[in-house]
């Protein structure tokens, strides 16, 4: 795939929250990461408003196991804390394939469209473990990123066949990426094949719900470092 990066992300626990479990303040994780969660991790590795990351596929490397923990979240519309049980995933590891494309709706960033430099910086950031902190769904679930030879290591679910995962949250349609006027949410019917989840592109998702109107943030050289400057820093050993 053009402008592709490959990496593994892992951690002691993860919480990719199923929205249906939020009623009453308790949370339970999906069995696998959502497209939006992996996209967020990839954006923590490297992101500019000039580009959009597309997640092509992931491999579920470890057996899906859960653990429950008691937490004290803030009460809704009241002072103080409540008691709740959160169900986390334990000892997770995923291999990821993703690629970048230019955000053509971002005409304000047109002069920053140098795919070779963006791609090279992204690969360097994978080697450095990401530009920002990596979280596996929520802030209390710290994650770690490393380069990987995709598909070499055997996964727990290799040769296990097709496993339907039901209707899952796919991601958000942000207006700066779609050119529309509404923030939207996408759902899809997820299936794991021999430990691999092949994600459809956002525009291929057929279950889309409107959320609200929102506005686009403007970017320019006053609030973003353009890629030419960052690439020069990388070549000079300052990145």
Percent of the chain exceeding pLDDT 90 equals 74
Report yes or no on 159 lying in a domain. yes
Going through the chain in order, the beta strands assigned E by DSSP cover 4-14, 27-28, 51-60, 66-71, 84-102, 134-135, 142-147, 162-173, 182-193, 196-198, 207-213
Mean pLDDT, the chain, as a whole number?
92
When pLDDT is cut at 50, 70 and 90, the band that residue 79 belongs to is confident
Instruction: Give the pLDDT of residue 160.
Output: 93
Instruction: Indicate which CATH number applies to the domain containing 30.
Output: 3.30.70.2660
Q: 65 or 80: which carries more pLDDT confidence?
A: 65
**Domain extent at residue 54:** 4-232
Instruction: Give the pLDDT of residue 156.
Output: 97
Q: Decide: pTM greater than 0.95.
A: no
Report yes or no on 238 lying in a domain. no
Instruction: Give the pLDDT of residue 41.
Output: 98
Q: Report the number of distinct structural domains present in the chain.
A: 1
Dump pLDDT digits (tens) for 135-170.
999 999 999 999 999 999 999 999 999 999 999 999
Instruction: Give the pLDDT of residue 227.
Output: 87
Report yes or no on 237 lying in a domain. no
Report yes or no on 36 lying in a domain. yes
Task: Give, in degrees to the nearest 5, the angle at Cα 93 between 120 and 48.
Answer: 30
Report yes or no on 173 lying in a domain. yes
Strand-pair partners of 135? 142
Dump pLDDT digits (tens) for 80-100.
777 888 999 999 999 999 999
Report yes or no on 19 lying in a domain. yes
């Amino acid at each position: 795939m053009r402008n592709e990066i490959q990496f593994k992300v892992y951690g002691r626990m993860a919480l990719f929250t199923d929205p249906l479990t939020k009623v009453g303040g308790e949370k339970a994780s999906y069995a696998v990461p959502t497209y939006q969660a992996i996209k967020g991790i990839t954006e923590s590795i490297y992101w500019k408003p000039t580009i959009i990351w597309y997640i092509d596929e992931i491999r579920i490397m470890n057996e899906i196991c859960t653990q429950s923990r008691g937490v004290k979240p803030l009460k809704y519309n009241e002072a103080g804390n409540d008691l709740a049980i959160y169900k986390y995933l334990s000892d997770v590891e995923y291999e990821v394939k993703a690629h970048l494309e230019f955000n053509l709706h971002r005409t304000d960033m047109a002069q920053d469209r140098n795919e070779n430099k963006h791609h090279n910086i992204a690969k360097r950031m994978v080697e450095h473990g990401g530009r920002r902190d990596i979280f596996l769904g929520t802030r209390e679930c710290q994650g770690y990123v490393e380069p990987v030879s995709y598909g070499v290591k055997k996964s727990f679910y290799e040769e296990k066949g097709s496993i339907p995962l039901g209707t899952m949250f796919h991601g958000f349609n942000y207006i700066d990426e779609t050119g529309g006027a509404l923030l939207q949410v996408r759902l899809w019917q997820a299936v794991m094949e021999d430990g691999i989840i092949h994600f459809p592109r956002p525009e291929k998702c057929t279950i889309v719900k409107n959320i609200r109107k929102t506005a686009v943030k403007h970017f320019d050289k006053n609030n973003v470092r353009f890629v030419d400057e960052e690439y020069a820093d990388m070549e000079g050993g300052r990145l």
